[in-house]
Amino acid sequence: MSGLTVAVAEEPPGERRVALVPESVRRLTGSGLQVIVPPGAGAGAWISDAAFSEAGARILAAPEAYAAADVVLAVAPPAPSLVAALRAGQALVGMLQPLTSPDLVRQLAQRGITAVSLDGLPRTLSRAQAMDALTSQASVAGYRAVIEAAHAYGRYFPLLITAAGTAKPAETLVLGAGVAGLQAMATARRLGAVVRGYDIRPETRQEVASLGAEFLELQSVRSGSGEGGYARMLDESELAAQQAELDGHIARHDVVITTAQVPGRRPPLLVRRTAVERMRAGSVIVDMAASAHGGNVEGSVAGQTVVTGNGVTVIGADDLASRTAGSASAAYSRNVTALLLHLLRDGALAVDLTDEVQAGVVVTHGGEVVHPAAAARLAGQSTEGAAR
């Protein structure tokens, strides 16, 4: 076994996570791979170069690291400088968001790079669970959303009974009972808040209840379960009825955390301005879906915290996992390591699109966009372009 060489990417500015932590470096070198880490790559997650060295990694400046690598492991979609540094035949593994980044996908294909994106992992496949970075990062983000909310909120989360009287618990509403939402509910419950959860998928009721949260029953929406563990898109009349009913619930909560995402699409608007305006001064909203493509909360801005005229703090939380970079990196590192080892045959990367895991994650290979959904999105983009 000649030993595949893996380089850790320098992440773009603002991204504190790192693709490998020393524990995984040990696992990879133990499997016969070489690992190269650029100096300072782990700084955002408080991992020193010395810690990587001790685990068996070589510390080498990013250009040399990328030049020497067969595979580059990243977290965030690559900066242009990283894409430019790669050559045909190399592989890039990360959370590349291929469905919302068609230009990147086209570029990677044209340059002959094998792009592997953990976003595409089949989440319902049990043997892929150890590789499921979307889940691990959503879990960190859900935890972090509550820490951010508690930090922004000017009152106790728990009920406290003292000599000076009783402090009421924070009434917390979490919209969306996926991984992030459930972790947010669990964390808010831990902190002592009264927690209510809502999801259009009624089968999440048991999970919500198991965390000690109350499942919010809306009368106006029928089941909204979709494929792959996500919610389906609701139609317009359903959305309107849901929102009208939700408005009343939102107004009586102190903390609202929204987590509703539909892969590759604009997130649904769940908290309208009219609902925000009915909330009490001092209330806090964390919009976990905030992005350049919009969010769940009208008026939220990705990467910013805004305070409305009526005193509601709206956190456009697009980097929550990165803000808890230690835990997020540790989990991601295990995910990407498991996936990388799954992709190897006889010590070399072996693309095999008949494998269900690979079919989900391999986006480009041999100069082609091999992932059907990414290819469809690219084709759609061309059509849109032609229609303009």
Q: Are 293 and 331 in contact (CB under 8 A)?
A: no
Give the SS3 label for residue 48. coil
- Cα–Cα dist 81/63, whole Å: 10
Selected range binding its own copies among 64-72, 83-91, 131-139, 380-388, rule: CB under 8 A: 131-139
Any residues with CB less than 8 A from the CB of 217 and at least 6 apart, and which?
none
Selected from 139, 172, 204, 296, the binder of its own copies by CB under 8 A is 139
The site that binds its own copies (CB under 8 A) totals a number of residues, namely 46
> Looking at beta carbons only, is 282 or 367 nearer to its own copies?
282
* Residue from the set 49, 67, 156, 171 that interacts with its own copies by CB under 8 A: 156
Q: List the one residue from 71, 140, 141, 175 that touches its own copies (CB under 8 A).
A: 140
Residue pair 79/55 in contact by the 8 Å Cβ criterion: no
In whole angstroms, give the CA distance from residue 173 to residue 103. Answer: 37
Instruction: Give the nearest distance from C-beta 364 to its own copies in angstroms.
Output: 26
Binding mask 295-314 for its own copies (x = CB under 8 A): ----------------x---
Cα angle value 207/172/271 (rounded, 5°): 95
Residues in 64-103 at the binding interface with its own copies, rule: CB under 8 A: none
Asked if 330 touches its own copies (CB under 8 A), the answer is: yes
| Of 78-86, 108-116, 132-140, 221-229: span binding its own copies (CB under 8 A) | 132-140
**Distance of alpha carbon 295 from alpha carbon 298, whole angstroms:** 7
Beta strands in 64-144 (DSSP E): 71-73, 91-94, 114-117
| Interaction between residue 26 and its own copies (CB under 8 A) | no
Is 162 one of the binding residues for its own copies (CB under 8 A)? yes
The β-bridge partners of 196 are 173, 214
Residue with structure tokens 């805004």? 306
What is the closest distance, in whole angstroms, from the C-beta atom of residue 156 to its own copies in the complex?
A: 5
- Give CA–CA dist 134/339, Å, rounded: 13
Residues contributing to the site for its own copies (CB under 8 A): 16, 45-48, 129-130, 132, 135-136, 139-140, 143, 147-148, 150-151, 153-156, 158, 160, 162-165, 167, 187, 190-192, 280-282, 311, 323-327, 330-331, 334-335, 338
